Amino acid sequence: MEDIKVLIDEEKLLNRIKILGEQITKDYKKSKELIVVCILKGSLYFTADLTKHIKNNNLKIDFMKVSSYGDEFISSGKVKIIKDLDTDIKNKDVLIIEDIIDTGNTLYYLKNELNTRNPKSLKICTLLDKKSRRQKDITPDYIGFEIEDKFVIGYGLDYKDLCRNIPYVGYIE
Ligand code: IMP
Ligand code: MG
C-alpha cells in the first residue's frame, strides 16, 4: 500500500481518546454494571486505548462481530451477526464502541438488536463520524472526530482487511 497520507496522527488520536474516556467516566460514575461492546475488528485499538481512560471498577469488555453484505467501500444495509456477545446485557449499561459511522446502517441494525435484549441503557461511541453520508437516523452519543467523506484506513480501520495496524488514521489519494 503506497503513499498513505495522514489524516489524524497518533498523538491527536490519543489526546482526544483520553478526553472521551474522562467524559465517559463522569457519565457512568453511578453505573453498577457497564458493558463496553467492542465491534470487531475495526474497533480493537480504539476500545483498548479508550477503556484505559474509563475509570470504573464495574466495567466489562465484550466483543461482537457483524458483517454487512456489500463491497468493501459501501455497506448495503443488510447486517449479520458473526460473533455475538458472551454477556447477558439485560438491565446493564451498554456502550457500543465503533470505529466509524458511515451510512449508519450497521449501527441502526445493531442498536435495534441490542435494544430487544432490554439493557438499562444503550449508548454509542464512535471514533470517526462521516456525518454527511448518513442514510439512517443514528446519532452517536460520543464522537472522536467528525471527518469529511474520505475512505480512511489505519488504527483498526481496514481496506480489504489490510492496513489495520497503521498507528494513525490515514487515507489514500
Ligand atoms: P455503515 O454501516 O455504512 O455506517 O458502515 C460502518 C462500517 O463500514 C464500519 O464499521 C467500517 O467497517 C466500514 N467503513 C465505513 N467507512 C469506512 C472507511 O472510510 N474506511 C474503512 N472502513 C469503513
Ligand atoms: Mg470494516
Return the ligand number nearest the Cα of 148.
1
Task: Please report, rounded to a whole number, the percentage of residues in the chain having pLDDT higher than 90.
Answer: 89
26, three cell numbers: 463522569
Q: How confident is the model at residue 1 (pLDDT cuts 50, 70, 90)?
A: low
Q: Check whether the bond before 41 is cis (ω within 30° of 0).
A: yes
Specify the pLDDT at position 80: 86
Which three cell numbers mark 108? Answer: 441502526
Q: How far apart are CA 54 and CA 25, in angstroms?
A: 5
> What pLDDT sits at residue 173?
81
Average pLDDT, whole number, for the chain? 94
Confidence at residue 36, expressed as pLDDT on a 0 to 100 scale:
98
According to the model, what pLDDT value does residue 79 have?
Answer: 83
Give the ligand whose atoms come closest to the C-alpha of residue 39: 1
Residues in Cβ contact with 113 at an 8 Å cutoff, skipping those fewer than 6 apart: 81
Q: Give the pTM.
A: 0.94
Which atom of ligand 1 is closest in space to residue 98's alpha carbon? Answer: 10
Q: Which three cell numbers stand for residue 31?
A: 453505573
Which atom number of ligand 1 is nearest to the Cα of residue 42?
Answer: 12
Residue 18 CB-half CA count within 13 A: 6
Strand partners, 121: 93
Helical spans, DSSP H, in 44-104? 44-51
Note if 102 is an active site residue. yes
* pLDDT of 73 higher than 70: no
* Nearest residue to 110 via CA among 138, 152, 76, 71: 138
**List 102, 129, 141, 149, catalytic entry:** 102
Does residue 71 register a pLDDT over 90? no
At residue 121, does pLDDT exceed 60?
yes
Q: What is the pLDDT of residues 23-32, one digit of tens each?
A: 999 999 999 9
